[in-house]
């Protein structure tokens, strides 16, 4: 467990997005250099392949839900695999 804190605008979200593989797979942008998580290069591994080692919980946990019911939420995750 790691807690990352700092003032607004210093790059906390960008760092977490990079470590979890969201950057550049989903957010776009240019990644220079190499980021490895548990020995896996984030450029060649999809975020779901890194989720067992790195993930984040945002300031609004409800924002992570994409449906209105538990059943639909679970189905969405399985359909997305």
pLDDT, tens digit (0-9, with 9 covering 90-100), for 32-66: 999 999 999 999 999 989 988 887 777 787 777 88
Question: Helix, strand, or coil here: 26?
Answer: coil
Domain contains 35: yes
Domain contains 1: no
Domain contains 40: yes
Domain contains 20: yes
| Mean pLDDT over the full length of the chain | 86
Domain contains 45: yes
Q: Is the pLDDT of residue 31 over 80?
A: yes
Residue 12 to residue 77: CA distance in whole angstroms: 26
Distances (CA, A) of 31 to 27, 55, 71, 81: 11, 19, 37, 25
Domain range for residue 75?
A: 12-79
Q: What is the pTM of this model?
A: 0.63
pLDDT value, residue 41: 95
Which residues, 6 or more positions from 41, have their beta carbon under 8 angstroms from its beta carbon? 34, 35
pLDDT value, residue 28: 81
Domain contains 57: yes
pLDDT value, residue 65: 80
């Amino acid at each position: 467990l790691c807690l990352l804190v700092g003032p607004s605008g210093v790059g906390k979200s960008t760092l977490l997005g990079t470590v979890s593989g969201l950057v550049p797979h989903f957010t776009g942008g240019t990644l220079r250099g190499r980021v490895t998580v548990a020995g896996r290069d984030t450029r060649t591994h999809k975020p779901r392949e890194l989720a067992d080692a790195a993930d984040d919980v945002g300031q609004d946990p409800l924002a992570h839900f994409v449906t209105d019911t538990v059943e639909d939420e679970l189905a969405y995750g399985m359909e997305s695999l």
